[in-house]
Amino acid sequence: MGGGDEMDLKAWAQQNIQFVGNSYTNKSSRNQRIPEIIVNHISEGSMSSMISWFTSPNNKVSSAHFGVSKTGKIYQFVAIEDCAWANGLTSGIENATAELVLKKGESENPNWYSVSIEHEGVWSETKGALTPEQLEATKMLHLYIIEYVKEKYGHEIVPSRKTIIGHHEIDKSQRANCPGELFPYREIIDFLTYYGLPFKDIKGHWAEDLIVSAYEQGIIKGYHDGTFRPDAPMSRAEGVALAMAVLNKLKK
């Protein structure tokens, strides 16, 4: 996720994530497992009720690593190094559809290898759609989690629908509407995939680094639709424009 637009995610987290978990918040050991997936949820209630429940001495059954409010505020209840009690027990994965969950099987509790995010909302009202503020916050939160896991464990969660999933993909029977059919997986994954890149069609191209460098030096520009079209034939006009940009750069 390289590129000139990357920010300091640690500084971002300090400014935007408020830790509110307490001694009553449910958590347990990962048993040396590495987080491999991010599981998204809908809270079926308000942010205040989520905070109250996840910090209550009366709650003996559930928790989550993070919660994202409709206004875009992010709360953390459990450290990523620990398990949150968000994704059920092995007894529920008989209804799973997620590839990794099926691969690991009933001997692996999904909480051991996941990071969980609750999103404020009620399914009957939103069907899992997020507010604009909530969407932008959860995009950055996903990015932060991926970078945190990479730095802490040396494992990269490559963004895809195999690694960015919903609770219903762990238990399609009891959690069929979590987080909901309108949850914006694709927007989140596209953001994670192209973060830090000036164009959305150069990821993985053999000239990716050269294109990014040329863009950052002001030598090239892309098309209005956000693409660069790296394998498209170059017109004579484009060739002249590129040559002039290089010459102007050399004169400076």
* Same domain? 156 vs 212: no
pLDDT at 79 over 60: yes
Q: Give dist(CA 86, CA 196) in Å, integer.
A: 31
pTM of the model: 0.82
- Of 157, 173, 194, the position where a domain reaches its end is 194
Counting the structural domains of the chain, the total is: 2
DSSP for 114-133, written as a single string: EEEEEE-B-HHHHTT---HH
* Residue with token string 């050269």: 210
* Same domain? 61 vs 166: yes
Mean pLDDT of the region 90-102:
81
- Of 194, 215, 233, the position where a domain reaches its end is 194
By three-state DSSP, how is residue 74 classified? Answer: strand
* Same domain? 125 vs 246: no
Q: Tell me which H or E stretch contains 165.
A: strand 164-166
- Of 153, 171, 194, the position where a domain reaches its end is 194
In a domain, 39, yes or no: yes
* Same domain? 212 vs 89: no
Q: Give me the pLDDT at residue 105, please.
A: 87
* Same domain? 189 vs 213: no
Print the domain residue range for 236.
Answer: 207-251
pLDDT at 69 over 80: yes
In a domain, 200, yes or no: no
Give me the CATH number covering residue 155. 3.40.80.10
Q: Which of 92-96, 115-119, 181-185 has the lowest mean pLDDT?
A: 92-96
* Same domain? 21 vs 101: yes
* Same domain? 118 vs 219: no
In a domain, 202, yes or no: no
Q: Give dist(CA 215, CA 87) in Å, integer.
A: 43
In a domain, 58, yes or no: yes
Mean pLDDT of the region 58-69:
97
Beta carbons of 166 and 179 less than 8 angstroms apart: yes
Q: Which two tokens stand for residue 84?
A: 């949150």
Q: Give me the pLDDT at residue 215, please.
A: 66
* Same domain? 159 vs 49: yes
Q: Tens digits of per-residue pLDDT, 122-156?
A: 999 999 999 999 999 999 999 999 999 999 999 99
* Same domain? 131 vs 244: no
Confidence of residue 197 (pLDDT cuts 50, 70, 90): low
Q: Give me the pLDDT at residue 194, please.
A: 84
Q: CA end-to-end span of the chain, whole Å?
A: 30
Q: Which of 93-102, 103-112, 230-239 has the lowest mean pLDDT?
A: 230-239
Confidence of residue 181 (pLDDT cuts 50, 70, 90): very high
* Same domain? 146 vs 221: no
* Same domain? 68 vs 160: yes
Bond prior to 179 in cis (omega within 30° of 0):
yes
* Same domain? 179 vs 222: no
In a domain, 1, yes or no: no
In a domain, 2, yes or no: no
In a domain, 173, yes or no: yes
Confidence of residue 209 (pLDDT cuts 50, 70, 90): confident
Q: Which of 32-36, 115-119, 207-211 has the lowest mean pLDDT?
A: 207-211
In a domain, 201, yes or no: no
Confidence of residue 221 (pLDDT cuts 50, 70, 90): confident
pLDDT at 251 over 80: no
